[in-house]
């Protein structure tokens, strides 16, 4: 038999379907909002209850940078703001 199922046997961040998620620093977040000329709520959301958010320990209002693997552009950057469930 393989390894015994110890605490979390897997890390969702390493699953092939999950792209790279990073937390933006406050200044980076501000810069992004300024560049796009928007408020936070106009960004796509990611829920606080999202497994990846929990794993990263992000809070409501944080912005997460997602670096996706892209079929068209190679890699593509996406942003989501952590949002409370409504």
Partner 1 sequence: MSAYASVTSITFGILSPDLIRKMSVAEIISPDTYDEDGLPIPTSVMDPRLGTLEPGQRCKTCGNTYLSCPGHFGHIELPTPVIHVGFAKTVYELLKSTCRSCGRILLSEDLIKQYSEEIRELKEAGKPYRYLIYRIKQRAMNEQICPHCGEKQLKIELEKPATIVEMAESGPARLSAGTVRSRLERIPDSDLILLDINPATSRPEWMVLTVLPVPPVYVRPSITLESGFRSEDDLTHKLVDILRVAQRLRENMRSGSPSPVIAELSDLLHYHVTTYINNEAVGAAPAIHRSGRALKTLAQRLKGKEGRFRLNLSGKRVDFSARTVISPDPSLGINEVGVPLDVAMQLTVAEHVTAWNIEKLRELVRNGPDKYPGAKYIVRPDGKRVRLKFVSNLDELASMLEPGYVVERHLQSGDIILFNRQPSLHRMSIMAHLVRVLPYKTFRLNPAVCTPYNADFDGDEMNLHVPQSEEALTEARELLMVEKNIISPRYGAPIIGVIRDFLSALYLLTKDDTYLDKNELAVLLGAIKYRGAVPPPAVEKPKPMWTGKQVFSLLLPKDFNHSFRSSFDNKPVVIRNGQLLEGVIDKAAVGIERANSILHRIVRDYGPQKARELLDKIVRLAITFIDMRGMTFSLEDLYVPDEAYQEIQQIFRRADAEYLKIRERHEKGEVEIPPGMTPEQAFENDMLRLLSEVRDSAGKAVREYISKDNTAYIMAKVGARGTMLNIDQMVAVVGQQSVRRERISRGFNRRVLTFFKRDDNSPRARGFVYNSFISGLDPIEFFFHMVGGRDGLVDTAVRTQQSGYMQRRLINALESLYIDYDGTVRTADEGKIIQFKYGEDGVDPAKSDHGKVITPSTLITAVLASTPQGTPASKDYVSSKLGEKADILPPSIIGELEKALLEAKASKEAVDRVVEEAVEIYISSRAEPGDAVGVITAQSIGEPGTQLTLRTFHFAGVGEQSVLKGLPRLIEIVDARRTPSTPIMRIPLTPEYAQNPVKARRLAKQIQFTKLGDVRTEVTVNYKRNRLEFKLDEQVLSERGITKKDIETAFKSYEAVYDPEKAVLSVKLTDEMFANLGKVRERLEETRLKGVRKIRRATVFKEGDEYVIRTEGSNLREILEFPGVDWRRVETNDIYEIAEVLGIEAARNAIVSESKEVLKDQGLDVDIRHLLLLADMMTVSGTVRQIGRHGVVKLKSSVLARAAYEISVQTLMEAAARGEVDSLKGNVERILIGREIAVGTGMVTLLMSHGKLAGGADGHKAEP
Report the interface residues with partner 1, using CB under 8 A: 1-5, 9-10, 12, 14-19, 21, 36-39, 41-47, 50-53, 66, 68, 70-80, 83, 85-86
Identity of the residue, 26 or 35, whose beta carbon is nearer to partner 1 in the bound complex: 35
Identity of the residue, 15 or 59, whose beta carbon is nearer to partner 1 in the bound complex: 15
Considering the complex, what minimum distance in angstroms separates the CB of residue 65 from partner 1?
10
Identity of the residue, 25 or 69, whose beta carbon is nearer to partner 1 in the bound complex: 69
Nearest to 11 by CA among 52, 41, 48, 45: 52
DSSP, residue by residue, 13-67:
GGSTT--EEEEPPHHHHHHHHHHHT--GGGSPEEETTSHHHHHHT--TT-EEEEE
Considering the complex, what minimum distance in angstroms separates the CB of residue 26 from partner 1?
18
Q: Are 61 and 43 in contact (CB under 8 A)?
A: no
């Amino acid at each position: 038999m393989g390894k015994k199922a110890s605490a979390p046997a897997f890390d969702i961040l390493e699953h092939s379907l999950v792209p790279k998620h990073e937390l933006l620093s406050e200044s980076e977040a501000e810069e992004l909002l300024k560049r796009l000329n928007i408020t936070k709520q106009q960004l796509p959301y990611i829920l606080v209850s999202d497994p990846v958010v929990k794993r990263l320990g992000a809070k409501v209002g944080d912005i997460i940078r997602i670096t996706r693997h892209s079929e068209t552009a190679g890699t593509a950057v996406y942003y989501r703001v952590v949002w409370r469930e409504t």
